[in-house]
Amino acid sequence: MIGHGVPGLDIRQDHEFVATAAAVFAALTIGLDAWWPVSLRLTGQGGHMHLEPELGAKLTELGPGGSGVIWGVVDAIDPDRRIYIQGWFGVRGVVAGRVHFDLEPSPSGCRLKLVHQAIGPVPEDQNTRYRQMWREILDGALRRYLTGTAV
C-alpha cells in the first residue's frame, strides 16, 4: 500500500557504490542490457534491454520472435545526476508508476537513491517482494557489473 488505502508500491532505497556517478549513470542507461538479470526479463531468456540516456527515450525489452515490452519512458534526466522513468516497470497490476534514480557523490564514490512508486491493484505482499528484488538488482547485479565481476 502506498498510503490511505491506495494499493500500489512505495519503495525507497539507498545504495553505495565504489564508482563514479558517471559510471553508474552509464550502467543504468546504455549498459543496462549487460547486467539486468535475465530472470527478470519479461520476454524470456532471449530478451534484450535498451535505454538511451535522453528525454523521451523508451526503456524497452525486445525478445525473440518479435515480442517486446515498453517498461517506461524517461520523463526527467540530468546526465550523471538523475534519470526518472515513468511506466509500469514490469509490475503486474500497475496503472501508473515512476522509478527515480538519483545519483550523488559520496566518500566512497557514489550514492544511488532509488524511489519506485506506483498505483494500481498490486497485492500488498508485492511491496516486500519488489523491495527485495530491487536490492538484488542494485546491490547484486549492478554492483557486480560495476566491479567487473561476471553478472
How many helices (H) and strands (E) the chain has is answered by 4, 7
The alpha carbon of 61 is separated from its chain's Cα centroid by a whole number of angstroms, namely 13
Number of structural domains (the chain) is 1
Evaluate whether residue 141 is within a structural domain.
yes
Evaluate whether residue 1 is within a structural domain.
no
Evaluate whether residue 2 is within a structural domain.
no
Residues forming a β-bridge with 49: 61
CB 110 within 8 A of CB 81: no
Evaluate whether residue 3 is within a structural domain.
no
pLDDT confidence of residue 134: 97
pLDDT confidence of residue 69: 96
pLDDT confidence of residue 82: 98
Evaluate whether residue 33 is within a structural domain.
yes
Digit-by-digit pLDDT tens for the chain (151 residues) are 455 556 789 999 999 999 999 999 999 999 999 999 999 999 988 999 999 999 999 999 999 999 999 999 999 999 999 999 999 998 988 999 999 999 999 999 999 999 999 999 988 788 889 999 999 999 999 999 999 887 7
Task: Say which CATH number the domain at 37 has.
Answer: 3.30.530.20
Evaluate whether residue 85 is within a structural domain.
yes
pLDDT confidence of residue 4: 52
CA–CA separation, 56 vs 106, rounded Å? Answer: 29
Range of the domain at 23: 8-146
Q: Does pTM top 0.85 for this prediction?
A: yes
